[in-house]
Chains A and B, each alone.
Chain A
């Protein structure tokens, strides 16, 4: 049983692609596709790492991340922000709310995989 990854993303094709990539590497991939109850999903699944989109229906990825960081249980949880918005202000925003890594779409599959591995490795 590999480490658990929670992918919060609303675009079905991207979910499919990332799930494929990580599953092939032995990760236990769970997905969640909206912002409303993303926090609940994190608590429920207790993942080792979270891949978080920003433009989510219901609640933005940044808001979700700040809430996670405010909670003692999840304040050190590795979170990879993966967004289609690649402007520098988005990167700054991500760092400010406490993202562990920031990556923009489109991405190289290997980069995502390596990033997730690095985040989980101590």
Chain B
């Protein structure tokens, strides 16, 4: 028993080593240093979980019993990988872009996210895989007992199996549910199984090399031994040969654990390129020494020894304990890696499609769950792993570890091969429907169970001998191994043929007759046209990636700035550093509300559900929708801008039109005024000139008087014309100013003199303030203004003793000259209008045409000053303001 103890010690060290590898890989991946974890060769090696203990030990046994047939199990997968461009590439692309977590998820996703389908696939996968796990446990215990070379009692074997199952459960729970990533990738596990792949290949090679060159005399001797063995010629059943190639190819894709490593754990599509030749090479090397070992084993081992254990017993028999130990580790590796991955794959399916739906509906409404569901998911995963391994152990215990298990490998293959029609149809045929898939799978599995699984337990265990012999209900065409009376077929091939073909036929026929739901049609288009929908490398980094996707989408709908500030605000509120908040329920609600403002509530809900929930529509599609929305919104905002512009233009036009109308009215008014002002003096002139002409008997005094009137009116007419011309020149800005330097006092003096000369009324002009200011201005124009103001006072001041005060004041840089008379002034209603053309406050006393003040205002504008009426001064008061006088001459 010393051997056994050493073996157990080595095994424990090996297990500890695997833990270390997995742990290191997880750590490296978490620190982002795990580039070596993503090497194509790691992916290729991880595929080697296809080679379980059943193939490690069983292939030799199979070869010893049936010759070359064993090799078909490796030929199928080789063809699948060599033909990667056909199917695997598409599966991997779909798996990555649709975030597929398992084969059940894949199938349910494709068929409109049907949970019924997912549950069905899960249950069938569990049924198909549990015996297989039991088989692995059995292989470990039998190899252990073979090694110890002592016939152990079944109690002890069971205990060993229990400890192996328990240890595997712990390993799987630790590294399989360490983190809950959306991408379901387990770096530690993958790395550990890659290492195990190397160990089992090396172990088998070592045994093979020892057998070929240690026991036999090299390849030539081996070939001779083959010729000398019982099966000298090709005697393989053709149906089995082709059928097994097909079956193994189907199983390679459909086995839950294979789907897990092929699709779910895939890190990059490019890895397929390497695996496409490297994995067939691996399988080739794995199977290279199977025949030699079998032949030599049959030669030298005693009659009746179990050929399944030749890999172990040959070295032992030759006294090579170290080699035997390596061989044991190879078998142990094959068994454990398969169990671990199968447990992960099954637990994902069970947890996602059975436990979680039940938990969500039992915890009161799935949508309102706001707490941390992640914990629930992890716990459910862990329980599922324990349950799967527990089931495997239970099956091992119940089956008694007998020979019933030996055939379970191919039975299991046939079971999972039922997924193939649905999988291929879903990926390549848009017309495939959920009902078709359900019907096909049901038929396939019923036939599989009836024809293969139930009879495999032996007569009268689950299926009575009479049913096997005479068919169900005694109907002979329902014989499990001769359906429809077709006899003579190999039972396995019989089951494979009927189950898969009827499965496919029913699936196609029901699909053709069915009409898919919108979701199915959408998903169908997504899956079948995956290469038109997805980019090469969608981002796959879990929660943050989701936030990023949401961000991209939100930016396209809300605009970059709004989206960024919204996300930043939410991140701040969550206390998360950086710009991307956790996509928790609260944030999603806020985001959805924001988005619904832009695209409507239903669309926003669907979009977010698609990105965050089980991504049944690809992100790219949503992007397309978002882009379209953004484009439409941009277009409509452009239209809006244009219509705003048009409205603005129209408003401007309307204003311009109003202005023109006003100007036109003013012009009419002006012309009418001018006409009136011209006609009035002309009337007098014409009337009196006619009187003078027609009345020869006028007195001299009359003649003089009338002539005087004519002259006055002529002068008035001339002055009016002068004023009009002057105003026209001033208004058009055509006036030529001649600036000179002058003293204000002097200008005022001259203006007063000019204004009062020839006037009959006696206006008293009083001057106050400092008028010794020197100015640089157009003196002529300035005095024109002064004269006008003085004359106005002279004309309109109605005081008994009219007096005009001229006050000069200097404030800061302004020179103010006020003209204030002692009359009644101008009524406040008219004060606004007095500077308008032809405005006369008191027409009866008007001497002019009412253009004087209008001219004054224009002049002051030209001189850079202003003139205004100064209310509240008693009489009429005008203020002339000049900016920036040169200096005070007196100083």
Binding site for B on A (CB under 8 A): 10-11, 13-14, 16-18, 20-21, 24, 33-34, 55, 57, 84-87, 104-109
Given contacts A11-B683, A11-B684, 15 further A-B contacts (CB under 8 A): A14-B684, A17-B691, A18-B687, A20-B691, A34-B844, A55-B676, A57-B844, A85-B676, A104-B679, A105-B680, A105-B683, A106-B683, A107-B686, A109-B687, A109-B694
B675 within 8 A of A: yes
Q: A57-B844, A106-B685 are in contact. Are A86 and B679 (CB under 8 A)?
A: yes
List B residues 677-736 near A (Cβ within 8 Å): 679-680, 682-688, 690-691, 694-695, 709, 712-713
Residue of B nearest to A82 (CB): B683
Using Cβ atoms and an 8 Å threshold, which residues of chain B touch A55?
A: 676, 843
Name A's interface SS: loop
Chain A nearest CB from B693 CB (Å) reads 9
Using Cβ atoms and an 8 Å threshold, which residues of chain A touch B712?
A: 13
B750 within 8 A of A: no
Residue of B nearest to A104 (CB): B679
Name B's interface SS: helix
Using Cβ atoms and an 8 Å threshold, which residues of chain B touch A106?
A: 679, 682-683, 685-687
* Whole-angstrom CA separation of A107 from B679 in the bound complex: 10
Assess whether A17 is in contact with B688, with CB atoms less than 8 Å apart. yes
* Whole-angstrom CA separation of A57 from B675 in the bound complex: 18
Chain A nearest CB from B151 CB (Å) reads 136
Specify which of A13, A24, A34, A108 is in contact with B684 (CB 8 Å cutoff): A13
Binding site for A on B (CB under 8 A): 672, 675-676, 679-680, 682-688, 690-691, 694-695, 709, 712-713, 842-844
The 8 closest A-B pairs by CB, nearest first: A17-B687, A84-B679, A105-B683, A13-B684, A106-B686, A106-B683, A84-B676, A109-B690
Specify which of B675, B687, B690, B691 is in contact with A14 (CB 8 Å cutoff): B687
* Whole-angstrom CA separation of A10 from B676 in the bound complex: 13
Assess whether A85 is in contact with B686, with CB atoms less than 8 Å apart. no
Residue of A nearest to B840 (CB): A57
Assess whether A105 is in contact with B682, with CB atoms less than 8 Å apart. yes
Q: A13-B709, A106-B682 are in contact. Are A86 and B675 (CB under 8 A)?
A: yes
Chain B nearest CB from A7 CB (Å) reads 13
* Whole-angstrom CA separation of A106 from B683 in the bound complex: 4
Using Cβ atoms and an 8 Å threshold, which residues of chain B touch A87?
A: 672, 675
* Whole-angstrom CA separation of A55 from B687 in the bound complex: 19
Q: A14-B680, A24-B695, A33-B844 are in contact. Are A107 and B675 (CB under 8 A)?
A: no
Q: A21-B687, A106-B685 are in contact. Are A11 and B680 (CB under 8 A)?
A: yes
Assess whether A107 is in contact with B683, with CB atoms less than 8 Å apart. yes
Q: Report which residue of A13, A105, A108 has the largest number of chain B beta carbons within 10 angstroms of its beta carbon.
A: A13
Q: Report which residue of A16, A55, A106, A109 has the largest number of chain B beta carbons within 10 angstroms of its beta carbon.
A: A106
Using Cβ atoms and an 8 Å threshold, which residues of chain A touch B683?
A: 11, 14, 17, 84, 105-107
Using Cβ atoms and an 8 Å threshold, which residues of chain B touch A14?
A: 680, 683-684, 687
* Whole-angstrom CA separation of A55 from B675 in the bound complex: 13
Q: A10-B843, A24-B695, A109-B690 are in contact. Are A84 and B675 (CB under 8 A)?
A: yes
Q: Report which residue of A11, A55, A85, A107 has the largest number of chain B beta carbons within 10 angstroms of its beta carbon.
A: A11
* Whole-angstrom CA separation of A24 from B688 in the bound complex: 14
Using Cβ atoms and an 8 Å threshold, which residues of chain B touch A18?
A: 687
Using Cβ atoms and an 8 Å threshold, which residues of chain B touch A11?
A: 680, 683-684
* Whole-angstrom CA separation of A60 from B672 in the bound complex: 15
Chain A nearest CB from B162 CB (Å) reads 119
* Whole-angstrom CA separation of A36 from B687 in the bound complex: 27
* Whole-angstrom CA separation of A108 from B680 in the bound complex: 14
* Whole-angstrom CA separation of A20 from B706 in the bound complex: 11
Q: A13-B684, A14-B687, A16-B709 are in contact. Are A105 and B679 (CB under 8 A)?
A: yes
Assess whether A17 is in contact with B672, with CB atoms less than 8 Å apart. no
Chain B nearest CB from A25 CB (Å) reads 12
5 residue pairs from A and B, CB less than 8 Å apart: A10-B843, A13-B688, A14-B683, A17-B691, A105-B680
Using Cβ atoms and an 8 Å threshold, which residues of chain A touch B684?
A: 11, 13-14, 17
* Whole-angstrom CA separation of A24 from B691 in the bound complex: 10
* Whole-angstrom CA separation of A108 from B686 in the bound complex: 8
Chain B nearest CB from A100 CB (Å) reads 20
* Whole-angstrom CA separation of A33 from B845 in the bound complex: 12
Residue of A nearest to B705 (CB): A16
Using Cβ atoms and an 8 Å threshold, which residues of chain B touch A13?
A: 684, 688, 709, 712-713
Chain A nearest CB from B702 CB (Å) reads 9
Using Cβ atoms and an 8 Å threshold, which residues of chain A touch B686?
A: 106-108
Using Cβ atoms and an 8 Å threshold, which residues of chain B touch A24?
A: 695
* Whole-angstrom CA separation of A20 from B844 in the bound complex: 21
Residue of A nearest to B713 (CB): A13
Chain B nearest CB from A105 CB (Å) reads 4
* Whole-angstrom CA separation of A17 from B681 in the bound complex: 12
Chain B nearest CB from A45 CB (Å) reads 21
* Whole-angstrom CA separation of A34 from B845 in the bound complex: 12
Residue of B nearest to A54 (CB): B676
Specify which of A84, A85, A105, A109 is in contact with B691 (CB 8 Å cutoff): A109
Chain A nearest CB from B733 CB (Å) reads 30
* Whole-angstrom CA separation of A107 from B713 in the bound complex: 15
Using Cβ atoms and an 8 Å threshold, which residues of chain A touch B843?
A: 10, 55, 57
Using Cβ atoms and an 8 Å threshold, which residues of chain A touch B687?
A: 14, 17-18, 21, 106-107, 109
Q: Report which residue of B676, B713, B843 has the largest number of chain A beta carbons within 10 angstroms of its beta carbon.
A: B676
Using Cβ atoms and an 8 Å threshold, which residues of chain A touch B691?
A: 17, 20-21, 109
* Whole-angstrom CA separation of A21 from B679 in the bound complex: 19
Chain B nearest CB from A64 CB (Å) reads 16
Using Cβ atoms and an 8 Å threshold, which residues of chain A touch B680?
A: 11, 14, 84, 105
Q: Report which residue of B680, B688, B709, B712 has the largest number of chain A beta carbons within 10 angstroms of its beta carbon.
A: B680
Residue of B nearest to A55 (CB): B676
* Whole-angstrom CA separation of A104 from B713 in the bound complex: 18
Using Cβ atoms and an 8 Å threshold, which residues of chain A touch B672?
A: 85, 87
Chain B nearest CB from A79 CB (Å) reads 19
* Whole-angstrom CA separation of A86 from B672 in the bound complex: 8
Specify which of A10, A84, A105 is in contact with B844 (CB 8 Å cutoff): A10
Chain A nearest CB from B275 CB (Å) reads 100
Chain B nearest CB from A21 CB (Å) reads 7
* Whole-angstrom CA separation of A65 from B672 in the bound complex: 21
Using Cβ atoms and an 8 Å threshold, which residues of chain A touch B713?
A: 13
Chain B nearest CB from A32 CB (Å) reads 13
Chain A nearest CB from B644 CB (Å) reads 41
Using Cβ atoms and an 8 Å threshold, which residues of chain A touch B694?
A: 109
Residue of B nearest to A10 (CB): B844
* Whole-angstrom CA separation of A108 from B689 in the bound complex: 10
* Whole-angstrom CA separation of A111 from B686 in the bound complex: 13
Assess whether B675 is in contact with A85, with CB atoms less than 8 Å apart. yes
Chain B nearest CB from A106 CB (Å) reads 4
Using Cβ atoms and an 8 Å threshold, which residues of chain B touch A10?
A: 843-844
Using Cβ atoms and an 8 Å threshold, which residues of chain A touch B679?
A: 84-86, 104-106
Using Cβ atoms and an 8 Å threshold, which residues of chain A touch B682?
A: 105-106
Chain A nearest CB from B662 CB (Å) reads 18
* Whole-angstrom CA separation of A34 from B672 in the bound complex: 21
Chain B nearest CB from A54 CB (Å) reads 9
* Whole-angstrom CA separation of A104 from B672 in the bound complex: 13
Using Cβ atoms and an 8 Å threshold, which residues of chain A touch B688?
A: 13, 17
* Whole-angstrom CA separation of A85 from B680 in the bound complex: 9
Using Cβ atoms and an 8 Å threshold, which residues of chain B touch A85?
A: 672, 675-676, 679
Chain B nearest CB from A11 CB (Å) reads 6
Chain B nearest CB from A51 CB (Å) reads 13
Using Cβ atoms and an 8 Å threshold, which residues of chain B touch A109?
A: 687, 690-691, 694
Chain A nearest CB from B553 CB (Å) reads 70
* Whole-angstrom CA separation of A106 from B694 in the bound complex: 17
Using Cβ atoms and an 8 Å threshold, which residues of chain A touch B842?
A: 57
* Whole-angstrom CA separation of A122 from B68 in the bound complex: 148
Chain B nearest CB from A13 CB (Å) reads 4
Q: Report which residue of A16, A17, A21, A33 has the largest number of chain B beta carbons within 10 angstroms of its beta carbon.
A: A17
Using Cβ atoms and an 8 Å threshold, which residues of chain B touch A105?
A: 679-680, 682-683
